[in-house]
Structure 1
Amino acid sequence: MKGTRWYVYGGVLLVAMALATVQLIGMLREAGEGAAVGAADTSGRIQLLWLHHFDEPGSQAWIDSGIRQFQEKHPNVTVTAMPLDGGDYMSLLRMRIASGEMPDLYMLDHLFGAQDIIEAGFAADLTGRASLKQVEPRYLKGGSSEDGRTWMLPIDANGLGVTYNKEVFAKAGIKRLPETWNEFLTLCQRLEQSGVTPIAAGYKDTWTLFWDLATDLVPSTLLNDPLLVEKLSDGTRTFEASADSLAQPLHRLAERFAYVNSHPFETSWDEARTMVAEGKAAMIVGGTWSVDGVRSVNPDVSLGLFPLPYSDDPADSLFPMKATGGIVVNPLSPHADLALELLDWFARPEMGDSLQRNKRSVSVLKGVEQGFDPAIAELNRGYIETNRTVDWSGVQTGFTNQQLARAFSVAVADYLIDPGRGVDALLRGLDEVVVQSGKREGDEGR
């Protein structure tokens, strides 16, 4: 059995959230931030706080390098970049709002699910700002609202697909990448027969399970219904009424679950990426950020990327790409002008180069060469430059109903562990959660 029952997993999830909250409060107390956010200490030094959710060493090296250079230009400024747990990032950010301790800068993955933060006045309007002219126009869409206003500085373009160890593929005699779902399953069987784990799954970190599913769900379903997740979150659409859209991606997730490592719900993201880095597993399903994650364990590992097939039509094998979020400035900070200057600092081509060298993802800034990593360079040649990509900038992926978001992770885990309960039961259970959260009454909206 690849995991434990859902209630154990759910308990672990709730405990992890509680620990993350306690950890955050402890960090704040230790740092003595509280009212010090955007303030000056007794020596006259200005302190800026920047919240993000990057845990990979390369991502943090990129942020640290920019901050170090900025502080050299501003000797009286101290910028603290604080990473929060990616799975609970938005909840923890909202905790800051509730406690009156919003940071001076913070990261958003997308505008969907953050409208309340923007409407509350915690995001500076960046429309027309000179630094945004450094961004390739096609990548501004994800950071702009329907009225054309821009709220964040995009930093990189991420894709959804499969990161694989080329040496493991070669040892298994695999010379051709799959372009259909049946070919992908055949690939997994061949890898398993060669004695290697086909897919590394680190579902102990719940965000990895979500993005494993989203790698299929986005191109197969959400591109045709970009606001489906929002409708499910606010109760205007039921899960049961969306069964035709959700069932097949969930079925395919269960099919490939047969090829993941043992005890995936007890395996962390760090352990999963180490498996691929050391050749114990062949693939990770998720975002292109996995390249940085795997290479941070083994810089010399030979990696490649391909889109996860979801149909039996090779023409559907396109790589979903978009600018996934960026840097937001809190205009209510007493030093918002300085925070905006720091944002501008990260829009320079030099920081685009640094991002690609350290974070190993595609910079969205103009004039930045993209041959920094063999896997990303191959992605650029094979998909981006040949128009074999699909833009998912308008797709909402995150549930704005936090109670539903937590229940969804637990329900999907339960389904994978015990697929006999069926997708229909999973969807009915999620509709009950929406009703319990007060977003819909009884059968209304069905």
Structure 2
Amino acid sequence: MASTPPSRRSFLALTGLTALSVSLTAACGDGDSGSGSGSAADGKVTFAWWNIATTEPGKSLFPQISSAFTAAHPNITIKTTSLENEAFKSKLTATSSSGKLPDVFQTWGGGVLRQQVDAGLVEDLTDVLGWSSDLTPVSLQPYQFEGRTYGVPYDIGMVGFWYNKKLFAQAGITAPPATWAEFLEDVEKLKAAGVTPIALAGKEKWPGHFYWAHLAMRVAGLPALQQAATTKDFTGAGFVRAGTHLKELVDLQPFQTGFLGAGYSTPGGQAATMGNGQAAMELMGQWAPSVQKDAGADLGADLGFFPFPTVDGGVGRATEVLGGGGGFALRKGAPKEALEFLKFLVLENESKLLASNGYLPVVKGAESQLADANRKAVADSLVRATGFQLYLDQAYPPAVGQEVNDSVADLIAGRKTPEQVTKSITEAAKGA
């Protein structure tokens, strides 16, 4: 997303590492985090690790994991740089523009990683990731292009509707809607009961793109989204229809008063409105409950989750999910020990990651460790997923992703028609 909210086994023998070259020189961006990376003649290895663990649980957990790894491998030194999300993106952009990357760096996959791969800056892990079969296919997908793998996930999630069971009952709604038509009917029932149906952070734009992206998936289908990315043409009837359905919702005036100026996690914003029981629903990722609690209140047992509904006449299914997560990639020529560290982080420490309540499982079968009902609902939906689409503002090149956010925001604000949205995104794609 354009602005990502705060985060949220046995140690198998590492196979095939010899295929990953070992660099003898630093290839990171600056001296404070990357100088001296590589292998020395005495067998000591140093590599740089850039992450975004500036909030809990990663702020405490990641250093613990790093220390445990270096304690077990005294010849290895990890130079860690933890940066806030946007600061990280800015610094990595500056670094990569000079043709360099840190040895191990945070990535969300998609368009930015693809650009780095195309520039020859990222290590192809396909033939050395012998433990990829331990990971869920959906968690690996954001880091794969043309059948090759360029990243290792540590977290994965999806977007869906978080809803207030008490407010649904107040409006006489006995079960979450399964179709778009039922969803619109429920919005009208909520309004009739004096309940604000949906909380939305209109100011930040990226939350609004979740609606258009889902509707495009449900109407046109995942193959159409993939084809549009290749042909750079989003003007097809399915994409126009997605905007038309979104306009149907907007015309019902379902959002809270002042939503166009509302932030996401800010006081009085989307998460607070939902957490304080002032709206019945929000369309948001797996981090929603924790942000609701931080910004407003904890809905507890009143909070439920359901996937985005299907659309009558559309080709997409409810088991096709929109989501993303966090992962790490290696710069071209990073020390082989860097990949060994990622294996330790992901496989050996999966239980710790899940116990922190900040991450969702990427290791097959690990969803059984989840106790929280809502986190388990999301994880189970991911396990059952029959298709996966990375957030559009991450899946596409940055300029295209930004145009998706901007144009959908204009549609929601009444400044663009469904046809104008598809034309603007197409123009951005052709210019990217």
TM-score (norm 2): 0.75
Among residues 250, 254, 261, which one is paired with 1:259 in the alignment?
254
Per the alignment, residue 372 of structure 2 pairs with: 373
Q: CA deviation at 1:97?
A: 0.7
Give the direction of change, closer, same or farther, for the CA distance of 1:55–1:318 in structure 2 (3 Å limit): farther
Q: Trace 1:357-396 onto structure 2 (pairs within 5 A).
A: 357-367=356-366, 369-379=368-378, 383=381, 387=384, 389-392=385-388
- The amino acid across from 2:414 in the alignment is D
Does the alignment pair 1:414 with 2:410? Answer: yes
Match of 1:278 in 2: 276
- Shift in Å at residue 306 of structure 1? 0.9
- In structure 2, stretches of 5+ residues that fail to align are 4-28, 38-43
| Residue in 1 that maps onto 2:86 | 85
| Structure 1 residue 353: Cα displacement | 4.4
Secondary structure of residue in 2 paired with 1:227: helix
C-alpha distance in 2 between matches for 1:332 and 1:279: 49
Residue 289 (structure 1) aligned to one of 287, 290, 302? 287
Instruction: Kindly report which structure 2 residues correspond to 1:239-254, keeping only aligned pairs within 5 A, or say none.
Output: 239-240=234-235, 242=236, 244-254=237-247
Distance in 1 between residues matched to 2:57 and 2:165, nearest whole Å: 21
1:223 Cα deviation (Å)? 1.2
Q: Matches of 1:226 and 1:156 in 2, distance apart?
A: 24
Secondary structure, counterpart of 2:386 in structure 1: strand
Q: Partner amino acid for 1:311? A: V
- Alpha-carbon deviation of 1:85? 2.9
Helix, strand or coil for the counterpart of 1:364? coil
Question: For residues 46-61 of structure 1, what are the structure 2 equivalents within 5 Å?
Answer: 48-52=48-52, 57-58=56-57
Kindly indicate whether the alpha-carbon contact (under 8 Å) linking 2:271 and 2:288 is maintained by their aligned counterparts in 1: yes
CA distance in 2, matches of 1:57, 1:194: 39
Question: SS in structure 2 opposite 1:261?
Answer: coil
Mark the CA change 1:393 to 1:246 in structure 2 (over 3 Å): closer, same or farther.
closer
Compared with structure 1, are the counterparts of its residues 320 and 361 closer, same or farther at alpha carbon in structure 2 (3 Å cutoff)?
farther
Question: In structure 1, how many angstroms separate the alpha carbons of the residues matched to 2:174 and 2:315?
Answer: 20
Q: Which residue of 1 aligns with 2:160?
A: 161
C-alpha spacing 1:214/1:138, structure 2 compared with 1 (3 Å): closer
User: Counterpart of 1:238 in structure 2: which amino acid?
Assistant: D
Name which of structure 1's ranges 98-107 and 149-158 shifts more when overlaid on structure 2: 98-107
For this pair of structures, how many residues does the alignment match? 391
Maintained 8 Å contact 2:157/2:382: no
Check conservation: 1:154, 1:324, Cα contact below 8 A.
Answer: no
Residue pair 1:196, 1:281 contacting (<8 A) in 2 also = yes
Match of 1:119 in 2: 118
The alignment yields a C-alpha RMSD, in angstroms, of 3.9
Q: Secondary structure, in 3 states, of the residue corresponding to 2:223?
A: coil
Q: What do residues 307-336 of structure 1 show as CA deviations (whole Å, max 9, x unaligned)?
A: 222414799662334883553333347x63
- 1:299 is displaced (CA, Å) by 5.0
Counterpart for residue 176 of structure 2: 177
Runs of 5+ in structure 1 lacking a partner? 1-12, 17-32, 440-446
Which residue identity is paired with 1:82? L
Aligned CA distance change for structure 1 residues 175 and 275 (closer, same or farther; 3 Å): same
Judging changes above 3 Å, is the alpha-carbon distance between structure 1 residues 422 and 313 closer, same or farther for their aligned structure 2 residues? closer
**CA spacing shift, 1:405–1:153, aligned 2, 3 Å:** closer
SS at match of 1:311: coil
Deviations 1:332-353 (A, max 9, x none): 47x6344323312222253344
The alpha carbon displacement at 1:47 in A equals 7.0
Contact 1:143 1:325 in 2 (8 A): no
Q: What residue in structure 1 maps to residue 229 of structure 2?
A: 230
Change (3 A) 1:374 1:296: farther
| Change beyond 3 A, Cα 1:47–1:392 | closer
Distance 1:64 1:175, change over 3 A: farther
Contact 2:350 2:363 in 1 (8 A): no
2:410 partner amino acid: D
How far the C-alpha of 1:162 sits from its partner, in A, is 0.9
The offset of 1:393, in angstroms, is 5.4
| Gap change, CA 1:362 and 1:170, over 3 Å in 2 | farther
Residues 155 and 363 in structure 1, CA contact (< 8 A), matched pair in contact too: yes
Q: Of residues 18, 24, 31 in structure 2, which corresponds to 1:35?
A: 31
Say which SS state the counterpart of residue 281 (structure 1) adopts. Answer: coil
**What amino acid does structure 1 have at the position aligned with 2:32?**
A
Asked if structure 1 preserves the Cα contact closer than 8 Å seen for 2:109 and 2:151, the reply is: no
Relative to the length of structure 1, the TM-score reads 0.73
Residue 367 to residue 170, structure 1, CA distance change in 2 (3 Å): same
CA 1:247–1:356: 2 relative to 1, 3 Å: farther
Question: Which whole-Å CA distance do the structure 2 matches of 1:276 and 1:34 have between them?
Answer: 42
Q: Which amino acid aligns with 2:345?
A: F
Equivalents in 1 of 2:32, 2:325: separation in Å?
27
